Chains A and B, each alone.
Chain A
Amino acid sequence: METLAFLIRRVGQAVMVMLIISLIGFSIQDNLGDPLRELVGQSVSEAEREALRDRMGLNDPFFVQYARFLGNAVQGDLGTSYFFKKPALEVILRKFPATFELVLAATLIIVLVSVPAGIFCAIKPKHIGARLIMGLSIVGISIPVFLTAIFSIYLFSIELGWMPSFGRGDVVELGWWNTGFLTGDGLEHLVLPAFALSSIMLPLFIRLIRGEMMEVMRTEYVRFAQAKGLHPRRVLFVHALRNTLLPVITVGGVQIGTLIAYTILTETVFQWPGMGFLFLEAVNRVDTPLIIAYIIIVGLIFVITNTIVDLIYTYVNPMVRISGVKG
């Protein structure tokens, strides 16, 4: 029962956030550029313009227009891109697989590296390797993601010539999806961007997991498990690790927005044909429908992933379910 109530509250919140984002999107549309000029150009007389405005409903009150915008948006109509002359939603979704695969690859790197590295640094804090990792992590946090990207291009593509420097390489079409995971060329193109994108989160998660692990290792129940004579590995991975992962899930949820923002930077440097790159192009061309479509799609992705993260969190942490308060 509590789970259901929690679910309803969470979904209600998600809908609220989406409404706010759509309101922002709509006010942008309302204030940025004149849709009429894009349609008819300069040569049409003022009277005809006014008639057209009336017919298109541009003279209606703000909330009537907003309701219409919302109604269209729910049906998947976010306007037509000025530049591509195609529905903005279609243009954006066409680029979605590229960004998704980049984020997926980066997330894999983050999880596969930060968990072992964090645990290692927590259980052997004096070890030379642990000190090295901690030292490198503060350097890593201080290097902005676009510089990691630029220097990895400079080193691996220009100087050494090992890696391709831009684009996605060969992709395989699977219905509306296209993937670079299935060709060697596509995977090769993915390495540097995914590494660059993960580089900024990696130190953060290593430090977080290390900190949590050290704290959990001092708790009574872990000491008891150790005193009972359980195998150290069992204590570590079965008893301690589970509770370490709780805050990691929360922080992971908070970092999703940041990760999406960093895709814009990474895609710009590598000219990766994803949504972030498209968005910056749209900004330079003042392609308003595309800008709004991007904001709404990204907002939707962000709200959905955050809701899922919260639900997972409730699932793995019974304390939240009982008290209903996130602890």
Chain B
Amino acid sequence: MSTLQRVWDSNFAYQFRRDPVAICSALVLLAFVLAALLAPWIAPQNPYDPLQLDLMNSKEPPAFGGQGNPDFPLGTDDQGRDLLSAILYGTGISLLIGIFAVMLQAVIGVSIGLVAGYMGGRVDSFFMRLADIQLSLSTLMVAIIALAVFQAAFGPQRYEDLAIFMLIVVIGIAEWPQYARTVRASVLAEREKEYVDAARVIGLSRARIMFRHILPNALTPILVISTVQVANAIVSEAALSFLGLGMPVTTPSLGSLIRSGFEFIFSGQWWITTFPSVVLIVLILAFNLLGDWLRDALNPKLYKET
């Protein structure tokens, strides 16, 4: 039997096929990822190229209202940027930041969680105390303060070039306790099992036992929280950009597009804020629904109840 066939027949895939919500959210996510990847080819305009922007076209209403310019299906922003193109590129930036930030979180959190869980004792209580403090300070608060200080230190001009990198690093570092706690909990359970004793008896190094033997058995919960973590990272990025601490208006993410349109909703240009907002909400909702489904599907405890 081929691997593909085995995957198709697995309980996991079976549950997926039976759940319309899961299928829908997966399809929506797939569509967003494809749209973002193909943006340079399908977008009517390159929103980063100032030469393609014409101020004469600024604040055009969406074309479907009957009064807009058919060149700009979703209208334009105050710079004359085609909103559809900006959203396609912006979705890409939001996804990019979200995924890389979560990868960074996972690397830091999984390493700390493995070490804390396996070593126990003082190391464990130190890291868990640190995680408690970090969690209660809240990601957004830590990120706002860190980015505010960086922005003040670098000056707005230089900060614009570094923004994407800073966002990934700050969101990545701020959320490590989520992974650390999850991994630690599974390590504590795995540590007592016989295969770990066996590995220790044949003299394998600690690092090898942790990463090669325990980690593969602790992967399921990591997978479960990752989906929701990407959604959280995207929300954080949007919030930070909305506050003016994230992506600049010249290379907008969804959050900075919402920010740039916010001042115009009072003068009737609702579309600049509304369309990126809708895309952002649908994106996050799809991630959250898929994450919820994943948690139910992979968690054997809940499995029995339903």
Q: Could you list which residues of chain A lie within 8 angstroms of chain B, going by C-beta atoms?
A: 17, 28, 31-33, 138-139, 141-147, 150-151, 153-154, 158, 165, 253-258, 260-262, 264-265, 268-269, 279-280, 283-284, 286, 288, 291, 295, 298, 302, 306
Contact = CB atoms under 8 A, between A and B. Distances in A.
Interface string B124-147: 000000000101111111001100
B148 interface: yes
A12 to B, nearest CB: 12
A269 B179 CA distance: 32
A22 B5 CA distance: 59
Best-surrounded residue of A158, A268, A283 (most CB of chain B within 10 A): A283
Contacts of B41: none
Those 7 A-B pairs whose CB atoms lie nearest each other, nearest first? A257-B138, A261-B140, A261-B141, A258-B138, A142-B285, A283-B148, A142-B284
Contacts of B292: 138
Interface in B184-229: none
Contact of A146 (B141, B239, B288): B239
A265 B258 CA distance: 13
Contact of B152 (A138, A256, A288): A288
A140 to B, nearest CB: 10
Nearest to A144: B235
B277 A151 contact: yes
Contacts of B152: 32-33, 283, 286, 288, 291
Contacts, number: 95
A9 B282 CA distance: 46
A255 B138 CA distance: 7
Given A138-B292, A150-B258, A255-B138, 6 more contacts: A32-B149, A142-B288, A150-B277, A257-B141, A260-B141, A269-B262
B239 A141 contact: no
A147 B258 contact: yes
Contacts of A268: 242-243
Interface string B74-94: 000000000000000000000
Among A143, A150, A280, the most chain B Cβ lie within 10 Å of the Cβ of: A150
Contact of B144 (A138, A165, A261): A261
B238 interface: yes
A5 B141 CA distance: 31
B151 A283 contact: yes
A35 to B, nearest CB: 14
Nearest to B273: A150
Nearest to B259: A146
B73 interface: no
Contacts of A260: 138, 141
B247 to A, nearest CB: 15
15 contacts: A31-B153, A32-B149, A32-B152, A33-B152, A138-B288, A142-B284, A146-B238, A154-B265, A154-B270, A158-B265, A258-B138, A261-B141, A283-B151, A283-B245, A288-B152
A110 to B, nearest CB: 16
Contacts of A256: 136
Residue picked from A31, A261, A262, A279, most chain B C-beta under 10 Å: A261
A258 B137 CA distance: 7
Interface residues of B, number: 37
Interface in B275-306: 277, 280-281, 284-285, 288-289, 292
B236 to A, nearest CB: 9
Given A32-B152, A151-B277, A291-B148, A265 B137 contact: no
B141 A258 contact: yes
A255 B140 CA distance: 11
B151 A144 contact: no
Given A32-B153, A147-B258, A153 B239 contact: no
Contact of A258 (B140, B242, B244): B140
Most buried by B among A147, A150, A253, A288: A147
Contacts of A306: 136
Nearest to A298: B141
Nearest to A143: B281
Contact of B281 (A32, A142, A257): A142
Interface in B101-143: 133, 135-141
Contacts of A150: 258, 262, 265, 273, 277
A125 to B, nearest CB: 11
Contacts of B149: 28, 32, 291
Contacts of B238: 144, 146
B138 A147 contact: no
Contacts of A298: 141
A283 to B, nearest CB: 4
Contacts of B262: 150, 269
A138 B266 contact: no
B243 A264 contact: yes
A300 B16 CA distance: 47
A254 B141 contact: no
B231 interface: yes
Given A139-B285, A158-B265, A258-B141, A144 B135 contact: no
B233 to A, nearest CB: 12
Contacts of B285: 138-139, 142
Given A28-B149, A258-B138, A265 B281 contact: no
